[in-house]
Chains A and B, each alone.
Chain A
Amino acid sequence: MGSDEYRPKRVPAPWRSALNAQGVAWLLVYVCLVLLPLALLLVGPVPPGREFLRELSVALAFAGTAILALQFALTARFRRIKAPYGIDLVYHFHREISYVALTLLVAHPVLLFVLSPRLLALLNPLTAPWRARFAVVALLALIAIVLTSVLRRRLHIKYEAWRHVHGILAVVAVALAVAHIEGVGHYVNTPWKRLLWIAYPSLWGGLLLYLSLVRPWRLTRRPWVVSEVKPERGAAHTMVLEAQGHSGMSFLPGQFAWLTVGESPFLRHEHPFSFSSSAGGRKRVSFTIKEVGDFTSRVKEIPPGAKVFLDGAYGYFSIDRHEAPGYVFVAGGIGITPLMGMLRTMADRDDRRPVLLIDVNREWESITFREELAELEQRLELTVVHVLTRPAPGWTGPSGRFRADMLCGLLPDDMLERDYFICGPGPLMDVVERALHGAGVHFRQVHSERFDLV
Chain B
Amino acid sequence: MRQRYSTTVAVLVGLLIVALSVVFALLQSGW
Tell me whether A15 and B12 are in contact (CB under 8 A). yes
- Within 78-136 of A, Cβ neighbours of B (below 8 Å) are at 85-86, 88-89, 92-93, 96-97, 99-100, 103-104
Residue of A59, A93, A430 with most chain B CB atoms under a 10 A cut-off: A59
Contact residues in B for A50 (Cβ distance below 8 Å): 28-29
Question: Please, which residue of chain A has its CB at the minimum distance from the CB of B23?
Answer: A59
Check: A245 CB closer than 8 A to any chain B CB. Answer: no
User: Shortest Cβ distance from B1 into chain A, in angstroms?
Assistant: 4
Tell me whether B29 and A448 are in contact (CB under 8 A). no
Tell me whether A52 and B29 are in contact (CB under 8 A). yes
With A35-B20, A100-B14: A49-B29 Cβ-Cβ less than 8 Å: yes
Contact residues in A for B9 (Cβ distance below 8 Å): 15, 18-19, 27, 93
Check: A437 CB closer than 8 A to any chain B CB. Answer: yes
Question: Please, which residue of chain A has its CB at the minimum distance from the CB of B13?
Answer: A31
Check: A433 CB closer than 8 A to any chain B CB. Answer: yes
Chain B residues touching A, majority SS:
helix
With A38-B24, A50-B28, A51-B29: A18-B17 Cβ-Cβ less than 8 Å: no
Tell me whether B2 and A100 are in contact (CB under 8 A). no
Question: Please, which residue of chain A has its CB at the minimum distance from the CB of B27?
Answer: A42
| Contact-residue size bin, chain B (C-beta under 8 Å from the other chain) | 20 to 34
Contact residues in A for B12 (Cβ distance below 8 Å): 15
Task: For the complex, give the distance between the alpha carbons of A427 and B8 in Å.
Answer: 20
Tell me whether B1 and A56 are in contact (CB under 8 A). no
Task: For the complex, give the distance between the alpha carbons of A325 and B31 in Å.
Answer: 59
User: Shortest Cβ distance from A298 into chain B, in angstroms?
Assistant: 30
Contact residues in A for B11 (Cβ distance below 8 Å): 96, 100
Contact residues in B for A450 (Cβ distance below 8 Å): 3
Task: For the complex, give the distance between the alpha carbons of A93 and B28 in Å.
Answer: 31
B21 partner, pick from A49, A60, A92, beta carbons under 8 A: A60
Task: For the complex, give the distance between the alpha carbons of A384 and B29 in Å.
Answer: 66
Tell me whether B7 and A96 are in contact (CB under 8 A). yes
Tell me whether A100 and B13 are in contact (CB under 8 A). yes
Contact residues in B for A14 (Cβ distance below 8 Å): 4-5, 8
B1 partner, pick from A58, A59, A60, A430, beta carbons under 8 A: A430
User: Shortest Cβ distance from A51 into chain B, in angstroms?
Assistant: 6
User: Shortest Cβ distance from B14 into chain A, in angstroms?
Assistant: 4
Task: For the complex, give the distance between the alpha carbons of A93 and B4 in Å.
Answer: 10
Tell me whether A63 and B6 are in contact (CB under 8 A). no
Tell me whether B21 and A63 are in contact (CB under 8 A). yes
Question: Please, which residue of chain A has its CB at the minimum distance from the CB of B12?
Answer: A15
With A433-B1, A434-B1: A15-B26 Cβ-Cβ less than 8 Å: no
B13 partner, pick from A27, A46, A92, beta carbons under 8 A: A27
Tell me whether A60 and B20 are in contact (CB under 8 A). no
Check: A388 CB closer than 8 A to any chain B CB. Answer: no
User: Shortest Cβ distance from A386 into chain B, in angstroms?
Assistant: 25
Question: Please, which residue of chain A has its CB at the minimum distance from the CB of B7?
Answer: A96
Tell me whether B13 and A56 are in contact (CB under 8 A). no
Contact residues in A for B2 (Cβ distance below 8 Å): 18, 86, 88-89, 433, 443, 446, 448
With A15-B8, A59-B24, A100-B10: A31-B17 Cβ-Cβ less than 8 Å: yes
Q: What 3 A-B pairs come out closest when comparing CB atoms?
A: A96-B10, A100-B14, A59-B21
21 cross-chain CB contacts under 8 A: A15-B12, A18-B2, A27-B13, A31-B13, A42-B28, A46-B28, A50-B28, A52-B29, A56-B24, A58-B25, A59-B22, A59-B28, A63-B17, A63-B21, A89-B2, A93-B10, A104-B18, A433-B1, A437-B1, A443-B1, A450-B3
